[in-house]
């Protein structure tokens, strides 16, 4: 828990210079900062829910024996979100958060996850039993509405509120907590957070108000905080992804999306053509090239892709073998015939979700042109369009 102290807090002197005679520390979590944002001005019930998000670096002094690769580190980044809501909004916000988690994990093609509800500890909890019962009922309702199986962990909640854990299993069978959704009644009280609402007695109990009652005299009510992390620690999440994909990343996420291979270095003009192909597909000017046009900022909605070139003096079969071993999603081959026709040959068989990716290419180029997907004749412009389609479908 936190206590509010320092410049501007109750009983503290305002005479200290900013940046002088002050203590600094490494930030362990984002909750206090978001509470200060909420309290920066007066709030009313019509503004809620208010959602803050933060991807900043956090620090935890984990004991050395607990540190393990990327899964447990002392400095990490978390997709931290805090939802300040009315008691009557808890169920809807929890449901929306669970839907958000399901959408994100489906997009990353992760295996099915496990949901676990942790309830009030037997002792050493803060708040009243009635508050805990209302909170747990709201979480159970949201879990039932999610349509997913969930388990109950009696007495395993934090001392300040119940929580929902999303548990993923890695390739070795070990379980890791990824997402977490936690209710918190105590932190808003510690920071003195309030919003104005009519009939505060009913508002606290989460009872809805009709239009006539909304005109009643307003009073202060303490909001509820929902701590929400979809991926949790980004470092741990990346470790799970690396093990899950086992070197075969989806095209939209891959650091090696595409490579252009030359058949022979003896073809005049082929190297310059390969540069043009790479630039057309990637959407960015190749590094090392002379800038001839005026420099302009990229459009905010422009898509760019990682396109490498292998023009080494080796056989084409060795280049292709190496490209597949390195995990390139799409392999383009350019030779004398490609130069004459203004095309490249695409091998897309290394793409994940191959059947879906092939169907999308058939819609662009036609079934006959695609064939097995191993040697597809495409123009650089068509390759660019196909790359954008794959990215838009998160394949």
Q: 3-class SS at 155?
A: coil
Q: Residue 96, Cα to own-chain centre: how many angstroms? A: 15
Q: Which one of the listed residues 82, 86, 134, 236 is annotated catalytic?
A: 82
Instruction: Assess whether 60 carries a catalytic annotation.
Output: yes
Instruction: Assess whether 31 carries a catalytic annotation.
Output: yes
* Structure-token pair, residue 196: 């104005």
Strand order in the sheet with 376-378: 307-310, 258-262, 330-334, 344-347, 376-378
* Structure-token pair, residue 305: 């892709």
Among 268, 243, 281, which Cα is nearest to 108's?
Answer: 243
Q: Which one of the listed residues 34, 140, 163, 384 is annotated catalytic?
A: 163
Cα(165)–Cα(229) distance, rounded to whole angstroms?
Answer: 10
| Length in residues, the chain | 395
Cα(218)–Cα(224) distance, rounded to whole angstroms?
Answer: 18
| Bridge partners, 344 (sequence order) | 378
Instruction: Assess whether 174 carries a catalytic annotation.
Output: no
Cα(180)–Cα(139) distance, rounded to whole angstroms?
Answer: 12
Q: Cβ(178)–Cβ(237) under 8 Å?
A: yes
Q: Which one of the listed residues 60, 169, 189, 256 is annotated catalytic?
A: 60
Instruction: Assess whether 275 carries a catalytic annotation.
Output: no
Q: Which one of the listed residues 34, 43, 80, 182 is annotated catalytic?
A: 80
Instruction: Assess whether 311 carries a catalytic annotation.
Output: no
Q: Which one of the listed residues 43, 134, 227, 236 is annotated catalytic?
A: 227
Q: Which one of the listed residues 54, 78, 194, 319 is annotated catalytic?
A: 78
Residues marked as catalytic: 31, 60, 78, 80, 82, 163, 227
């Amino acid at each position: 828990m936190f206590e509010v102290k320092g410049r501007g807090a109750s009983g503290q002197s305002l005479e200290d210079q900013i940046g002088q005679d002050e203590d600094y520390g490494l930030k362990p979590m984002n909750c206090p900062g978001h509470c200060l944002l909420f309290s920066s001005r007066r709030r009313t019930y019509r503004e809620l829910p208010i959602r803050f998000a933060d991807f900043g670096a956090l620090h935890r002094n984990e004991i050395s024996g607990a540190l393990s690769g990327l899964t447990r580190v002392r400095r990490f980044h978390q997709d931290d979100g805090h939802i300040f809501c009315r008691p009557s909004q808890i169920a809807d916000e929890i449901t929306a958060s669970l839907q958000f988690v399901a959408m994100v994990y489906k997009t990353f093609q992760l295996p099915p996850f496990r949901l676990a509800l942790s309830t009030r500890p037997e002792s050493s909890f803060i708040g009243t039993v009635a508050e805990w019962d209302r909170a747990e009922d709201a979480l159970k309702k949201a879990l039932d509405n999610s349509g997913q199986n969930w388990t109950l962990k009696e007495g395993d909640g934090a001392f300040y509120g119940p929580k929902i854990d999303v548990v993923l299993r890695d390739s070795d069978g070990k379980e890791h907590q990824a997402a977490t959704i936690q209710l918190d009644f105590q932190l808003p009280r510690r920071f003195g957070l309030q919003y104005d609402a009519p009939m505060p007695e009913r508002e606290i109990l989460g009872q809805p108000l009709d239009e006539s009652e909304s005109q009643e005299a307003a009073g202060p009510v303490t909001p509820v905080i929902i701590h929400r992390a979809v991926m949790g620690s980004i470092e741990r999440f990346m470790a799970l992804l690396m093990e899950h994909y086992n070197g075969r990343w989806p095209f939209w996420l891959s650091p090696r999306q595409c490579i252009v291979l030359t058949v022979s270095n003896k073809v005049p003009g082929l190297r310059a053509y390969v540069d043009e192909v790479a630039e057309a597909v990637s959407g960015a000017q190749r590094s090392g090239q002379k800038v001839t046009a005026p420099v302009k900022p990229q459009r905010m909605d422009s898509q760019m892709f990682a396109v490498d070139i292998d023009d080494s003096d080796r056989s084409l079969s060795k280049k292709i073998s190496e490209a597949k071993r390195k995990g390139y999603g799409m392999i383009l081959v350019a030779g004398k015939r490609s130069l004459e026709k203004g095309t490249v040959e695409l091998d897309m068989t290394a793409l994940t979700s191959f059947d879906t990716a092939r169907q999308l290419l058939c819609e662009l180029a036609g079934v006959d042109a695609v064939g097995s997907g191993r040697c597809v004749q495409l123009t650089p412009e068509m390759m660019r369009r196909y790359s954008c389609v794959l990215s838009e479908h998160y394949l």
